[in-house]
């Protein structure tokens, strides 16, 4: 019974890894874009519908605010009630920590080392456009 259980775990683990392979190139580009400090590179990695709603409609084209809010991710308030606020220019190093399935896409956790020495984690949602089959980052709405 134990060999069958072990085989089942191996198959399930490999299936999970394979399911993440299609998004991995996009996530590596996201790491590089964050480390480079390029707002334009970051913009290319966002979901089109989200970009239109937030950048064009809500923020009236303020690219810096759009990207800074995106990389701050879905954060919870700390003990003081403040939310994580990160500027792209403050990021020194980025590492991909985890990718999990979360409807309607994939929840991605990045570890960021900031210029002031702090280490923070950010959570982003990536969705796949059904027409283009391209992955794009989505942040909070509003």
142 has pLDDT over 50: yes
CATH of 21-138, one of 3.30.360.10, 3.10.450.50, 3.40.50.2000, 3.50.50.60: 3.10.450.50
- CA 7 distance to own-chain centroid: 32
Query: What average pLDDT score do residues 18-36 get?
Result: 86
15, two tokens: 């299936």
120 or 20, which is more confident: 120
Question: How confident is the model over 63-122, as pLDDT tens digits?
Answer: 999 999 999 876 666 667 777 788 999 999 999 999 999 888 999 999 999 999 988 888
Residue 74 to residues 71, 81, 124: CA-CA distances in angstroms?
9, 14, 7
């Amino acid at each position: 019974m134990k060999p069958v259980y072990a085989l089942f775990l191996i198959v399930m683990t490999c299936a999970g890894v394979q399911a993440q392979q299609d998004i991995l190139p996009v996530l590596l580009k996201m790491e590089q874009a964050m480390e480079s400090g390029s707002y334009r590179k970051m913009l290319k990695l966002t979901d089109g519908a989200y970009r239109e709603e937030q950048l064009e409609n809500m923020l009236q084209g303020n690219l810096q605010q759009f990207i800074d809010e995106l990389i701050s991710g879905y954060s919870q308030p700390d003990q003081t009630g403040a939310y994580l606020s990160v500027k792209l220019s403050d990021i020194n190093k980025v590492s991909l920590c985890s990718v999990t399935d979360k409807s309607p896409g994939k929840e991605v956790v990045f570890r960021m080392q900031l210029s002031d020495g702090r280490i923070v984690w950010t959570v982003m949602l990536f969705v796949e456009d059904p027409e283009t089959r391209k992955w794009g980052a989505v942040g909070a709405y509003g």
